[in-house]
Amino acid sequence: MDKFTLIIGIIGVLVLVAAVSLIISAFVNTIRGKKKFKNFLTSFVLFLILFGFATSFIYLALFLQTFSRYTHEQRIGWIFADGSDTRIAMTFYDETKNSTYYFNLSGNQWMVEGYFLRWSTFLRWAGAESYYRVTRFTGRWEGKQETLSTYEVHVTEKLWKFLLTYGEQLPFIDAAYGIGVFQYPQQDTFYLYINGTGFVLKKH
């Protein structure tokens, strides 16, 4: 949750608390005879105004948080692919680890693959970041049944094997699965993002 949304939400809650405190105090004082009923009506009108402001701020904060999580993308690296007819020279920079990888693939397309853990709806809404792992790059042949060439960035860990097998049975986890996106080698830099469903490639 960003600071602006948090501030809006806190303001809404504080105004709501003030409104409820006001109407309770006015009601108690009226029952005890410390205030006239006319004064209670004035307090009630003020309560309605404050309650309206409070709910508006709270709903705005909820909307902003929902929109922010729905459109959230985290950049995790960039990829440069320089290809010929059968060979692709790849460069992958992993921003999360500040590491650069250089390798070659065979094919006329390249694919980045990995694992993805999708948290429950509430945790995603609350701001839980996606849990993922970039595992390997694969060279592909479009329209041909050729042997694939691969380059492993990270070896598959036992944790991910467990999550893929039993993840959906665990609390707070919606799903765990393999992901992948592919492109042609275009001598362009592609930024690699992670969002609420998997990888996203965008040209620089």
The predicted model gives 60-68 an average pLDDT of 87
DSSP conformation class of 167: G
Residue 68 has pLDDT above 90, yes or no: no
Confidence class for position 107, pLDDT limits 50, 70, 90: confident
Residue 23 has pLDDT above 80, yes or no: yes
Alpha helices for the chain (secondary structure H): 3-31, 37-71, 121-126, 158-166
Element (H, E) at 2: none
Confidence class for position 1, pLDDT limits 50, 70, 90: low
Tokens 């992993």 correspond to 94
Residue 39 has pLDDT above 80, yes or no: no
Distance, in Å, from the CA atom of 194 to the CA atom of 179, rounded to the nearest integer, reads 11
Confidence class for position 130, pLDDT limits 50, 70, 90: confident
The predicted model gives 32-54 an average pLDDT of 84
Residue 41 has pLDDT above 90, yes or no: no
**In the prediction, which pLDDT does 71 show?**
81
Q: What is the CA radius of gyration of the chain?
A: 27
Q: Are 151 and 103 in contact (CB under 8 A)?
A: yes
Confidence class for position 66, pLDDT limits 50, 70, 90: confident
Distance, in Å, from the CA atom of 51 to the CA atom of 80, rounded to the nearest integer, reads 54
